[in-house]
């Protein structure tokens, strides 16, 4: 699924294998549901300068998990909780 975010084109991956297949594309960034990707997988992945966007983060525990994956952007349902977890 291709989307546009602030004039930038991003692709939405549904699993780690799909995410891997998009790393050599011309898209600006790749988004993926937080639960669909592991920290270990992301640590070993070369995104070739693409931005990583994680979404579907709804609890303090999931906020911590997502922040530990070091995304460029994080879409969250509870910004206050997420900021509390980060700082």
Q: Please give the average pLDDT of every successive group of 10 residues along the chain, which has 87 residues.
A: 72 87 84 91 82 90 91 88 80
Take residue 25 and report the two structure tokens written for it.
């594309």
- Lookup result for tokens 């937080």: 34
Query: How confident is the model at residue 35, as a pLDDT?
Result: 93
Q: Which of 37, 40, 31 is nearest to 1 (CA)?
A: 31
CA distance 46 to 2: 21
Residue 36 has a pLDDT of 93
CA distances, 11 to each of 3, 29, 55, 62, 74 (Å) = 6, 7, 13, 22, 15
């Amino acid at each position: 699924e291709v989307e546009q975010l602030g004039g930038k084109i991003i692709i939405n991956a549904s699993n780690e294998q799909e995410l891997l297949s998009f790393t050599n594309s011309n898209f600006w960034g790749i988004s993926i549901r937080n639960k669909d990707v592991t920290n270990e997988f992301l640590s070993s992945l070369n995104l070739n300068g693409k931005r990583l966007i994680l979404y579907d983060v709804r609890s303090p525990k999931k906020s911590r998990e997502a922040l530990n994956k070091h995304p460029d952007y994080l879409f969250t349902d509870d910004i206050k909780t997420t900021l509390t977890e980060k700082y």
